[in-house]
């Protein structure tokens, strides 16, 4: 019934759709770090949010937003966390409360410090959904980075950050998120 395909060129493509949801961008500003550290921080925060706020881990997700910094000749990463539910469920929005954010960061540090694996495992950072990053995930890097922010968090809204070690937390109306 079939026939021989005469196609000679293969194209790599991606399917996606656009939906509106709640998005929070956490910009660590001057204290940025490398990709492996920052993606480890993303998953440390997501797991901690799930624990602290009682959110199903599948209802939230995150990624990095990289912007090339010409002065530093390096990429600056901001952390983007979003609700996976179309329309937003208000989960990531709760991070705009300073106390909630502090508790989430503290819980993330506890979890990173408390594990006994070498770099990452299914108890601390890994999941089925982040397999792509498994080799890079490192609880020690996430812990080292996040401990810098314990007790130093200050929500500064949309204004400029005056000190290092401050987090710029934006609920900056990224209206849509493209999902793979
Ligand atoms: Zn582990």
pLDDT per position as a tens digit, 127-146: 999 999 999 999 999 999 99
Please report whether residue 5 resides in a domain.
Answer: no
Full residue range of the structural domain in which residue 108 is found: 19-174
- How far, rounded to the nearest angstrom, does the alpha carbon of residue 159 sit from its chain's CA centroid? 22
* Strands, E assignment, the chain: 17-20, 23-27, 60-69, 74-83, 168-170, 176-179
What is the Å distance from ligand 1's center to 157 Cα?
A: 33
Which residues of the chain register pLDDT less than 50? 152, 155-166, 172-180
The predicted pLDDT at position 36 comes to 94
Please report whether residue 162 resides in a domain.
Answer: yes
What is the Å distance from ligand 1's center to 135 Cα?
A: 13
What is the Å distance from ligand 1's center to 58 Cα?
A: 19
Please report whether residue 3 resides in a domain.
Answer: no
pLDDT tens track for 31-62: 567 899 999 999 999 999 999 999 999 999 99
Please report whether residue 35 resides in a domain.
Answer: yes
The predicted pLDDT at position 167 comes to 54
Please report whether residue 11 resides in a domain.
Answer: no
């Amino acid at each position: 019934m079939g026939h021989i395909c005469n196609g000679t060129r293969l194209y790599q493509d991606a399917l996606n759709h656009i939906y509106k949801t709640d998005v929070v961008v956490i910009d660590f500003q001057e204290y940025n770090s490398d990709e492996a550290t920052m993606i480890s921080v993303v998953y440390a925060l997501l797991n901690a949010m799930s624990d602290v706020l009682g959110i199903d881990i599948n209802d939230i997700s995150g990624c990095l937003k990289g912007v090339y910094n010409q002065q530093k000749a390096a990429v600056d990463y901001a952390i983007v966390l979003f609700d996976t539910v179309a329309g937003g469920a208000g989960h990531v929005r709760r991070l705009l409360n300073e106390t909630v954010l502090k508790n989430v960061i503290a819980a993330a540090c506890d979890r990173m410090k408390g594990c006994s694996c070498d770099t990452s495992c299914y108890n601390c950072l890994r999941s089925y959904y982040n397999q792509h990053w498994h080799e890079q995930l490192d609880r020690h890097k996430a812990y080292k980075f996040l401990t810098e922010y314990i007790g130093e968090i200050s929500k500064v809204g949309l204004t400029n950050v005056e000190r290092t070690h401050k987090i710029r937390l934006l609920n900056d109306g990224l209206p849509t998120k493209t999902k793979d």
